[in-house]
Structure 1
Amino acid sequence: MQAPGRERRAELEAICRDLYLRLRPRETPPGFRVEFRRFAALNNFIRRRDGAIHLLVSDILADAPREVLASLACILLSKLLREPVPAECRRRYREYVSRDDVQRTLRAARAERGRKRMGPPQGRYYDLEELFERLNERYFEGALAKPRLGWSPRASRRRLGHYDAAHGTIVLSRILDGPGVPEFVVEYVLFHEMLHAVHPTRRSGTRREVHTKEFQEAERRFPRLAEAREWLERL
């Protein structure tokens, strides 16, 4: 991905000045400084500093159409000035970033630039590689390619497991690697993340369907599904 040129930055700065005048017609607009950054995700930031307004924009958007950049500027400036964000700006921006080609670029950027923090698969009580092999044979006929497996650095209750397609990893929360956690519960969480590798998120416009009908049907093959979910609700 080539670095965005000066013309593209100047274009977005001009868009911001015009938007500022529309939002604050009685004020003299401040200076605007735009930088396209090599973020690992689709991150965009705006802040005031030294009398100017600075925008840090993901370089994934460097080739976006002018109307998409205008929508992004509208969203960021509205938030900075505490104005309502127009629904049309949100819609146009979301439609663009939901496109298949943009999502492919985003996944490639995450794989290249992002770092995945994870511990080894061998925990104090459970070995994720051993559990993976068992589940792979039982539910996938041994055909599922093994991703990198590991325990999370922190014991999180909010996110018990995560499959990352960009990095080819499955990470389980360390809170499950304990003497009081039944093995079938750890198996269920790992099985759930393995299913994400087989049944990826489906997109329809701006809508994301994480757990598709096929995913849910496959998940019901786990014999102690209800029991595992009930146990996790009490965690």
Structure 2
Amino acid sequence: MAPEPNRLLKVWRRVLERRLRTRLRAKVSIDIHDNTHTMLTFQRHRARFRLRLHHMFLAAPDDVIQALADFVRHGDAEASIRLDKFIERNKAYIRRLSPEKMRKRLRLDPVGRHHDLGRIFDRLNERYFQSRISAAITYGPAPRVKGPRKSIKMGSYSADSRVIRIHPALDQPVVPRYFVEWIVFHEMLHHVYRAKRGDDGRRCVHPPEFLDHERRFHDFKRAQAWEDDNLDLLLRARVDG
């Protein structure tokens, strides 16, 4: 009998984890997805690498696995180019699914105890984008961390589902509304400006035109100053899981 699809996927994932572990010489955990835009993301937590990869990588040849390891470890520009070529050759495996259908599978929770992200998004959309940004917004899940945070990703934008996620640590009475607005505005700009590759071959998610546009935010300098003065407050924030 042929193995069940889910069991086969687990086997291939474990094989891929082992292939990367031997190259990174560190613990590796992998989630396999079927996204339509973002083919790979990764984070490093102490001695462990956590990757989210499109299923096309399950049977990738050794040179691509080595490029993936080089990109994850050092952000190597040549490795990034090699990965882009691999993705381009295998784009037939990318399933086409509309953002609307993808959002139906997600739990969207934009109303916080102190900041309503939906209202903030709508007002910014009208003020700065003539209400042309067709995206959804929500508070993201509280990341599981042990001990004090050393960094915090305050927002993210998924081009696959067109969903903006805001870190729940921002939903506090001490966090001013203009600061939350700035973070939302920043993520809305990712809907407008897609990542580009620079002259050095590196992928740039904040091209110059993105940064120029961000400075048009009405409280840009005040929001930056508040972040500089209160980053520790956000790092220490306790949020519900």
| Residue aligning to 2:160 | 166
Q: Distance in 2 between matches of 1:136 and 1:173?
A: 20
| Residue aligning to 1:142 | 131
Q: Is the 8 A contact 1:42 1:60 kept in 2?
A: no
2:82 to 75, 86, 96: 96
Q: Distance in 1 between matches of 2:209 and 2:221?
A: 18
**1:154 is matched by which residue type in structure 2?**
A
Residue 98 of structure 1 aligns to a residue whose secondary structure is helix
Residue 225 of structure 2 aligns to a residue whose secondary structure is helix
**1:170 is matched by which residue type in structure 2?**
I
Aligned pairs (5 A) from 1:9-20: none
Residue 157 of structure 2 aligns to a residue whose secondary structure is strand
Q: Distance in 2 between matches of 1:137 and 1:190?
A: 13
1:224 aligns with 2:224: no
**What is the count of residue pairs matched by the alignment?**
178
Q: Distance in 1 between matches of 2:90 and 2:112?
A: 34
Q: Is the 8 A contact 1:162 1:170 kept in 2?
A: yes
Q: Is the 8 A contact 1:118 1:152 kept in 2?
A: no
| Residue aligning to 1:200 | 194
1:123 to 112, 124, 142: 112
> 1:127-164: CA deviations, max 9, x gaps?
1111111001111111221x221112217851000011
| Residue aligning to 1:153 | 141
> 1:100-146: CA deviations, max 9, x gaps?
72696787589899x9876500111111111111001111111221x
Q: Is the 8 A contact 2:64 2:82 kept in 1?
A: no
CA deviation after TM superposition for structure 1 residue 210, in Å: 0.8
> 1:69-96: CA deviations, max 9, x gaps?
23245579xx8xxxx99xxxx7765323
Q: Distance in 2 between matches of 1:231 and 1:104?
A: 43
Change (3 A) 1:107 1:195: farther
Structure 1 spans left out of the alignment, 5+ residues: 4-8, 10-15, 21-36, 45-56
> 1:169-201: CA deviations, max 9, x gaps?
100011111111111000000000000000111
Change (3 A) 1:182 1:104: farther
Q: Percent same amino acid at aligned positions?
A: 28
Residue 165 of structure 2 aligns to a residue whose secondary structure is strand
Structure 2 spans left out of the alignment, 5+ residues: 6-11, 13-18, 23-30, 43-52, 144-148, 232-241
TM-score, normalized by length of structure 2? Answer: 0.58
Change (3 A) 1:197 1:75: closer
Residue 188 of structure 2 aligns to a residue whose secondary structure is helix
| Residue aligning to 1:188 | 182
Q: Is the 8 A contact 1:136 1:142 kept in 2?
A: yes
CA deviation after TM superposition for structure 1 residue 230, in Å: 1.8
**2:130 is matched by which residue type in structure 1?**
E
| Residue aligning to 1:47 | none
**1:98 is matched by which residue type in structure 2?**
D
Q: Is the 8 A contact 2:108 2:138 kept in 1?
A: yes
